[in-house]
Structure 1
Amino acid sequence: MSRRKIGFWYRLAAVICKPPLVVLVKRDWRGMENIPADGGFITAVNHNSLVDPFLYAHFQYNSGRVPRFMAKHSLFGKGFAGAFMRGTGQIPVYRESTDALSAFRAAIAAVDAGECVAFYPEGTLTRDPELWPMTAKSGAARVALQTKCPVIPVAQWGASEILPPYSKKLSLLPRKTHRVLAGPPVDLSRFHDKEMTPEILKEATEAIMASVTSLLEELRGEAAPPVAYDPRRERLAQRRVSESRKRRDTTRGPVGTGEAQ
């Protein structure tokens, strides 16, 4: 198989979702020529709003290569939503379980079958204060190195104006513009003949995210921070501050126990 056909469920989603998206959101889409016409590949996309998967899926659908997203397994339950997720071939991710690797096996199988698998390498909404991409998980790099498929970096911007991260308040008017810029494949050839060690996966992941960030700089017309926001580093720093405060409080003793009389 050279590419996945647009089946019933994706066409149904297009019928339901495209008309309001076209009416409510303006589009500035560039780089669609970099989306491969045939064969399996990965897209690596930044994530800064809960609505950007729908907006990005619109872009990808219009390219003629429908994406298979990595999505949390709870979305695959009963009802219409679960039927839609299964019908469109999305890939369930079982986080923090013994079956976590099944998602990567499914992604590898999809790429080998000539499909597009869309990754949000950060794994969640960015926590960077200015919404720049964070440090990423190694899943996209792992699948890319295993299959040696093209990795297309994609930057998107504007969805956070419609729905800010971790907000429930939509802002549709005045109409916002969703900007997308897809770049040429990330060159990972230097990793192909090397053992897939944690160090190699880290380097490949950083190469992918550097390409995504560079495209986002072009979209936003400004420079990203020199060091990507690392939520693990931030949590560690906060823990150290908290422990330091506890030590100071313990050293001082209870309030009002000073020796002066």
Structure 2
Amino acid sequence: MSRFLFIKALLGPLLRVLFRPRVQGAERIPGSGPVILAGNHLTFIDSMILPLVVDRQVFFIGKDEYVTGTSLKGRLMAWFFTGVGMIPVDRDGGRGGVAALMTGRRVLEEGKVFGIYPEGTRSPDGRLYRGRTGIARLTLMTGAPVVPFAMIGTDRVQPGGRGLPRVGPGRRVTVRFGEPLDFSRYDGMDRDRYVLRAVTDEVMSHVMRLSGQEYVDVYATKAKAA
């Protein structure tokens, strides 16, 4: 048994007991071939819940600090995240964005599932922020369909993205998947910035409808800085 299947078998039942997640539309994720899962990002545990509610293994980019800790907690985090499909990348360096993009492209060209948060960071206030165009570059470079998804309620389970998750009434998590989006009509246009923006905005509009969040046409990083 692979480490991914072992973690899913071990933690899946615990997750269901703690968060009672409702998963809607998971059958819309293609059973084979490259797929991009693109969704909102409310709190830290989003990246723990998503891999455990999808049948296929989801590969995604994560901060390298998640796998470099030497304490018991740090080692457990590294074991979990690398086991479920996190690929550590130093995103703080000048080449971090390029490294993340090329990593995603490699995963998709191998016919796997790649998860991405187009906002680029967690929402500072629960609203949905402007998507970055890396998602558009990936789908146009690889031809992989995009399945939008929405995390609902994870910010109530773990407010502020820190501390231990809270369980109890009113803190149930929902993960909702939309229909696959095909952008083959833009084939060969992955360097056109207007096309990249149009594709990204279309993905974000689907995420917004799935999540019910208020949309803000500003990058989340700028909102946090302000």
Q: Please give the range of the TM-score, normalised by the shorter of the 2 chains.
A: 0.7 to 0.9
| Equivalent residue number for residue 87 of structure 2 | 91
| Equivalent residue number for residue 112 of structure 2 | 115
Q: Which deviations, in whole Å up to 9, do the C-alpha atoms of 1:218-247 show, x marking residues without a partner?
A: xxxxx734x4343466478x5xxxxxxxxx
The equivalent position to 1:134 in structure 2, one of 113, 119, 129, is: 129
Task: Give distance in 2, aligned partners of 1:215 and 1:52.
Answer: 16
Task: Give distance in 1, aligned partners of 2:170 and 2:84.
Answer: 29
Task: Give distance in 1, aligned partners of 2:107 and 2:18.
Answer: 33
The equivalent position to 2:59 in structure 1, one of 48, 53, 68, is: 68
Task: Give distance in 2, aligned partners of 1:159 and 1:23.
Answer: 15
**Alignment partner of 1:29 is 2:23:** yes
1:216-227 map, 5 Å:
216-217=211-212, 224-225=214-215, 227=216
TM-score (norm 1): 0.75
Task: Give distance in 1, aligned partners of 2:224 and 2:47.
Answer: 27
Deviation of 1:143 after TM superposition, in Å, equals: 1.1
1:165 alignment partner, SS class: helix
RMSD of equivalent CA atoms: 2.4
What is the identity, as a one-letter code, of the residue corresponding to 1:153?
A: P
TM-score (norm 2): 0.85
**Alignment partner of 1:159 is 2:149:** no
2:13 alignment partner, SS class: helix
Q: Percent of pairs identical after alignment? A: 25
Unaligned runs of 5+ in 2: none
The equivalent position to 1:106 in structure 2, one of 103, 115, 124, is: 103
Deviation of 1:167 after TM superposition, in Å, equals: 4.2
| Equivalent residue number for residue 250 of structure 1 | none
User: CA, structure 1 residues 52+197, in 2 after alignment: closer, same or farther (shift >3 Å)?
Assistant: same
Higher RCO (CA < 8 A, seq sep 6+): 2
| Equivalent residue number for residue 258 of structure 1 | none
**Alignment partner of 1:124 is 2:121:** yes
What is the identity, as a one-letter code, of the residue corresponding to 1:119?
A: I
The equivalent position to 1:212 in structure 2, one of 197, 204, 207, is: 207
Deviation of 1:175 after TM superposition, in Å, equals: 6.7
Task: Give distance in 2, aligned partners of 1:119 and 1:231.
Answer: 15
Deviation of 1:43 after TM superposition, in Å, equals: 0.2
**Alignment partner of 1:13 is 2:7:** yes
Aligned 8 A contact 2:151 2:211 in 1: yes
The equivalent position to 1:228 in structure 2, one of 204, 217, 223, is: 217
1:58 alignment partner, SS class: helix
Deviation of 1:186 after TM superposition, in Å, equals: 2.0
What is the identity, as a one-letter code, of the residue corresponding to 2:57?
A: V
What is the identity, as a one-letter code, of the residue corresponding to 2:180?
A: P
Deviation of 1:16 after TM superposition, in Å, equals: 3.2
Aligned 8 A contact 2:22 2:173 in 1: yes
Task: Give distance in 2, aligned partners of 1:183 and 1:194.
Answer: 25
Aligned residues: 220
Task: Give distance in 1, aligned partners of 2:81 and 2:27.
Answer: 27
Q: Which deviations, in whole Å up to 9, do the C-alpha atoms of 1:85-131 show, x marking residues without a partner?
A: 4444422222232442222222111111110000011111112x3x1
User: CA, structure 1 residues 98+214, in 2 after alignment: closer, same or farther (shift >3 Å)?
Assistant: same
Aligned 8 A contact 1:92 1:103 in 2: no
Deviation of 1:191 after TM superposition, in Å, equals: 2.1
Task: Give distance in 2, aligned partners of 1:136 and 1:113.
Answer: 25
Q: Which deviations, in whole Å up to 9, do the C-alpha atoms of 1:12-68 show, x marking residues without a partner?
A: 2223322321111112211112100110110001111211222222211xxx21100
